[in-house]
């Protein structure tokens, strides 16, 4: 498999360093609220990467952390009057539910920052001993970026920025976990206790406090993946400062290569703009379910753009995925019948599939820099020529790699034309959103087409007018 490496800016072959298991790490969620579809674009792409490797026959080991202590989790748990553990536990459970609905494979290991405080303290002590960190006596500890000549290599920070950083010091003030590029400076490894932290502090050689956000990934990677591992992933916003800081901490403390490959996904926009609360464009899985969409349709939508390009999410394009998934289901049923396919193979059955038949091109798009959009296009092209049992297995192999689950066709849905199904779904979504004018309009259109939707509490049934 080949994948763009954001460190070297080249598409490179992925190779497990031990020749056996592909060991990779993805930065996980900060659990202080529900994850949005932008976050899920990144998590779904990480999941597809793993699936493509596994369907190709490569064993994987996937580690994804949980950020359960930082400025935001402390702030919001205090505001909610809950303990940090109760508060983050609640949002973690929600995250797991959403991931399951989206058919993301659970990572092999999901370590949390709070459960690794001693490892983080030990790493700080090592960095101080090696001259890469200092404790100025204000209860905090900082990483000295001037001590690491490769700082900025991943995000190509220009020399001017770095020179500025070297002469600046923000250590006198409070430093946020997240900051912008123009504030490059020594960053915090241990954050001394603040008045607003409540009970959320741990004892350390520098006094009570908590680790800085960037440190958890370095400490947990060291613990579970060692000094050199195969790939590190996350959204593009993490390249600077988060990943840059992880590299600095890990290479200075451990001396290894750290990640051999960097995988960054471009952001998801909504209606062409950055998601924003005030514009009402932050969608969660629950928001979209309320509008009548399924998580499988959301996954399809997230896969329909190449991960290196920004993608634009609209409710209109999500509507189209409903129809496309139904089309795929019908095509699968026809193909299965034609080839006497029998039971649909499970994910495990498809690992190491040796031939994809006419869907070889579709799978090839995935192994060539994870082009999910092109792969989906090739699936539809392949369906036109699919004839054999091998083709049918290949179709399922590509779907398993994409993690796409097809909707079950009911007896009636096989007779319902796709256009009618789509309009009925749109009407249900409008009704759920209490958009009565649109819902009535769609009811009339359906009637003109010879169909009526009988509503229940949880859904509707389509009936053909005689």
Q: Which residues contribute to the site for ligand AMP (CB under 6 A)?
A: 27, 29-30, 38-39, 41-42, 67, 234-235, 237-238, 267-268, 275
Chain residue whose CB lies nearest ligand AMP: 235
302 binds Zn ion (CB under 5 A): no
By beta-carbon proximity to Zn ion, the closer residue of 6 and 56 is 6
Q: Which does 88 bind (CB under 5 to 8 A by kind): Zn ion, ligand AMP, none?
A: none
- CA 270, 276, 277, 282 dihedral sign is positive
By beta-carbon proximity to ligand AMP, the closer residue of 42 and 204 is 42
Chain residue whose CB lies nearest Zn ion: 217
Interface pick for Zn ion out of 3, 7, 26, 27 (rule CB under 5 A):
27
By beta-carbon proximity to Zn ion, the closer residue of 27 and 423 is 27
What is the x/- site pattern for Zn ion, positions 182-221, by CB under 5 A?
-----------------------------------x----
Q: Which does 30 bind (CB under 5 to 8 A by kind): Zn ion, ligand AMP, none?
A: ligand AMP
Q: Least distance (Å) from ligand AMP to the CB of residue 68?
A: 11
The C-alpha atoms of residue 125 and residue 115 are separated, in whole angstroms, by 18
By beta-carbon proximity to Zn ion, the closer residue of 42 and 140 is 42
Q: Which does 237 bind (CB under 5 to 8 A by kind): Zn ion, ligand AMP, none?
A: ligand AMP
By beta-carbon proximity to ligand AMP, the closer residue of 29 and 111 is 29
Q: Tokens 């249900």: give the residue.
A: 428
DSSP state letter for 240: I
- List C-alpha distances in Å: 373 to 38, 274, 365, 402: 17, 22, 9, 10
Q: Least distance (Å) from Zn ion to the CB of residue 243?
A: 7
| Residue numbers 369-388 binding Zn ion by CB under 5 A | none
The C-alpha atoms of residue 332 and residue 380 are separated, in whole angstroms, by 11
By beta-carbon proximity to ligand AMP, the closer residue of 39 and 175 is 39
Q: Least distance (Å) from Zn ion to the CB of residue 217?
A: 3
Q: Least distance (Å) from ligand AMP to the CB of residue 234?
A: 4
**400 HSE (CA, 13 A, CB side):** 24
By beta-carbon proximity to ligand AMP, the closer residue of 259 and 353 is 259
Cβ–Cβ under 8 Å, residues 179 and 279: no
Cβ–Cβ under 8 Å, residues 363 and 370: no
**Residue count of the chain:** 466
Distance of CA 93 to the CA centre of its chain: 16
Q: Least distance (Å) from ligand AMP to the CB of residue 2?
A: 22
Q: What dihedral do alpha carbons 338, 343, 349, 354 form, nearest 10°?
A: -10
Q: Give the strand pairing for 258-259 and 268-270.
A: unpaired
Q: Tokens 């920004």: give the residue.
A: 310
Q: Least distance (Å) from Zn ion to the CB of residue 309?
A: 23
Q: Which does 155 bind (CB under 5 to 8 A by kind): ligand AMP, Zn ion, none?
A: none
Q: Least distance (Å) from Zn ion to the CB of residue 64?
A: 10
By beta-carbon proximity to ligand AMP, the closer residue of 28 and 397 is 28
Q: Which does 217 bind (CB under 5 to 8 A by kind): ligand AMP, Zn ion, none?
A: Zn ion
* Burial class of residue 233, CB neighbours in 10 A (0-12, 13-18, 19+): buried
By beta-carbon proximity to Zn ion, the closer residue of 217 and 404 is 217
DSSP state letter for 452: E
Beta strands in 245-327 (DSSP E): 258-259, 262-265, 268-270, 311-313
Q: How would you label 297-324 residue by residue, b for 16+ Cβ within 10 Å and e otherwise?
A: bbbbbbbbbbbbeebebebeebbebbbb
Q: Least distance (Å) from ligand AMP to the CB of residue 267?
A: 4
Q: Least distance (Å) from ligand AMP to the CB of residue 81?
A: 23
Q: Least distance (Å) from ligand AMP to the CB of residue 250?
A: 18
| Residue numbers 217-246 binding Zn ion by CB under 5 A | 217
Q: Least distance (Å) from ligand AMP to the CB of residue 232?
A: 11
- Where does residue 216 fall: left (phi above 0), alpha (psi -120 to 50 degrees), or beta otherwise? alpha
The C-alpha atoms of residue 258 and residue 250 are separated, in whole angstroms, by 7
26 binds Zn ion (CB under 5 A): no
Q: What are phi and psi of 254, to 5 degrees?
A: -100, -25
Residues 6+ apart with CB under 8 A from 84: 68, 69, 73, 74, 77, 114, 199, 200
By beta-carbon proximity to ligand AMP, the closer residue of 235 and 382 is 235
Site size with Zn ion, rule: CB under 5 A: 2
By beta-carbon proximity to ligand AMP, the closer residue of 41 and 427 is 41
CB under 5 A: which stretch of 24-32, 53-61, 181-189, 430-438 binds Zn ion? 24-32
């Amino acid at each position: 498999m080949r994948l763009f490496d954001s460190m070297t800016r080249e598409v490179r072959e992925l190779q497990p360093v031990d020749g056996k298991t592909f060991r990779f790490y993805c930065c996980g969620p900060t659990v202080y609220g529900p994850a949005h579809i932008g976050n899920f674009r990144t998590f779904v792409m990480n999941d597809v990467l793993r699936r493509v490797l596994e369907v190709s026959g490569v064993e994987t080991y996937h580690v994804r952390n949980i950020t359960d202590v930082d400025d935001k989790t402390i702030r919001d748990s205090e505001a909610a009057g809950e303990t940090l553990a109760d508060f983050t536990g609640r949002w973690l459970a929600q995250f797991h539910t959403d991931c399951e609905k989206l058919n993301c494979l659970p990572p092999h290991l999901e370590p949390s920052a709070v459960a690794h405080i001693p490892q983080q303290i030990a790493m700080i002590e090592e960095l101080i001993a090696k001259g890469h960190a200092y404790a100025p006596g204000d209860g905090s500890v900082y990483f000295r970026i001037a001590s690491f000549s490769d700082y900025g290599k991943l995000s190509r920070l220009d020399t001017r920025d770095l020179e500025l950083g070297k002469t600046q010091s923000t250590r006198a003030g409070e430093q946020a976990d997240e900051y912008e590029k123009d504030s490059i400076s020594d960053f915090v490894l241990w954050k001394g206790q603040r008045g607003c932290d409540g009970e959320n502090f741990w004892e350390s050689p520098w006094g009570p406090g908590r680790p800085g956000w960037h440190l958890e990934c370095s400490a947990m990677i060291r613990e579970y993946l060692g000094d050199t591992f195969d790939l590190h992933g996350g959204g593009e916003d993490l390249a600077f400062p988060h990943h840059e800081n992880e590299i600095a901490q890990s290479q200075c403390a451990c001396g290894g290569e750290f990640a051999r490959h960097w995988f960054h996904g471009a952001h998801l926009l909504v209606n062409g703009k950055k998601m924003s609360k005030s514009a009402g464009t932050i969608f969660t899985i629950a928001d979209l379910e309320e509008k009548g969409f399924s998580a499988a349709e959301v996954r399809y939508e997230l896969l329909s753009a190449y991960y290196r390009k920004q993608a634009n999410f609209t409710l209109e394009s999500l509507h189209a995925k409903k129809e496309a998934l139904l089309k795929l289901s019908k095509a699968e049923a026809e193909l299965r019948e034609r080839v006497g396919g029998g039971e649909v193979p499970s994910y495990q059955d498809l690992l190491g599939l040796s031939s994809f038949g006419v869907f070889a091109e579709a799978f090839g798009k995935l192994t060539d820099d994870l082009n999910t959009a092109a792969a989906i296009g090739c699936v539809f092209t392949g369906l036109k020529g699919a004839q054999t049992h091998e083709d049918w297995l290949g179709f399922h192999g590509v779907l398993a790699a994409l993690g796409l689950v097809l909707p079950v066709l009911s007896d009636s849905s096989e007779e319902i034309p796709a256009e009618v199904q789509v309009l009925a779904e749109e009407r249900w979504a409008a009704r759920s959103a209490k958009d009565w004018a649109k819902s009535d309009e769609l009811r009339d259109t359906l009637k003109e087409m010879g169909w009526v939707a009988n509503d229940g509490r949880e859904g509707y049934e389509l009936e053909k007018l005689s």
